[in-house]
Structure 1
Amino acid sequence: MIPFDNFHMEEGIPIYQQILLYLKRGIVAGDFHDGDELPSRRMLSALLGVNPNTVQKAYRQLEEENLICSHTGSKSYMVLNTEKIAQIRAELLQSDVKSVVQSMKQMGLSKAEALRLIQAYWD
């Protein structure tokens, strides 16, 4: 079963989105695999101390993105392949890079300064 021991809630971000991001980052990191079982909606809501509707919203989104398979009264499990994993990785990278670039621009960094900073942290 997919653990949520390392899940930490952050202020200002809807919890259902945090659940989605946690699972997607775990997928691209190789922590979660095809066929892995997710906690039930009730179990996860109790574990996180959130409204069951919040977990339901996250699971519904995962179903719409074809990342999990759920059936009424049965368990939910991950449905992954290399193409989906590559798509999630690209989606997350695009979002993260866009956010960093916007922050750098807001701080007045030039493109050259930003690239030097990235290079320094890369090394």
Structure 2
Amino acid sequence: MKPNFQHSSPIYLQLSDRIQRQILRGELKPGEKLPSVREMAMFSQVNPNTVQRTYNELERMGIVETRRGQGTFITEDAARLNALRDDLRQRQIATFVEAMEEMGFHSQEILTGLETYLNKHKGSDQD
């Protein structure tokens, strides 16, 4: 995780998003312990209160669980992790479609363009 953050969104949400993406990519595994608040703060170059807020947000979402005296761990709830994957996919699609519509593209143009793109890049998905 690099400490470069955007000004458009609170840092704790950006940090939360990064952790969620690491989980989806398999960089963080179910049941794995996250760094302590202080360690994550040093690594991310943010205030420990920001990391604590990030961990609280992830716990509220059911993505992590705090075990008293042990730390914060990625949930092992496969259904919750699948829901996270679906949610992030839908958010990404919504962002893409909204951007295309703002540029004046209609649904059929978006679908055609997406199909063309995916057909050109089929080989790269089968690694």
Q: Deviation string for 1:5-51 (max 9, x for gaps)?
A: x6753342221111211121222222221211101111111111111
Structure 2 Cα separation of the partners of residues 48 and 7 of structure 1: 5
| Larger RCO, structures 1/2 (Cα 8 Å, 6+ apart) | 1
TM-score relative to the length of structure 2: 0.82
| Counterpart in the other structure of 1:17 | 13
Question: Is the 8 Å Cα contact of residues 7 and 22 (structure 1) preserved in structure 2?
Answer: no
| Counterpart in the other structure of 1:58 | 54
Structure 1 Cα separation of the partners of residues 44 and 91 of structure 2: 25
| Counterpart in the other structure of 1:37 | 33
Question: Is the 8 Å Cα contact of residues 31 and 75 (structure 2) preserved in structure 1?
Answer: yes
Structure 2 Cα separation of the partners of residues 101 and 38 of structure 1: 34
Question: Is the 8 Å Cα contact of residues 26 and 32 (structure 1) preserved in structure 2?
Answer: yes
| Number of equivalences | 119
Root mean square deviation, CA, Å? 1.8
| Counterpart in the other structure of 1:48 | 44
Letter of the structure 2 residue corresponding to residue 64 of structure 1: R
| Counterpart in the other structure of 2:124 | none
Gaps of 5+ in 2: 120-127
- The 5 A counterparts of 1:72-87 are 72-87=68-83
TM-score relative to the length of structure 1: 0.84
Moved beyond 4 Å, runs of 4+: none
Letter of the structure 2 residue corresponding to residue 32 of structure 1: L
Among the aligned pairs, what percent are the same residue?
28
Residue 21 to residue 67, structure 1, CA distance change in 2 (3 Å) = same
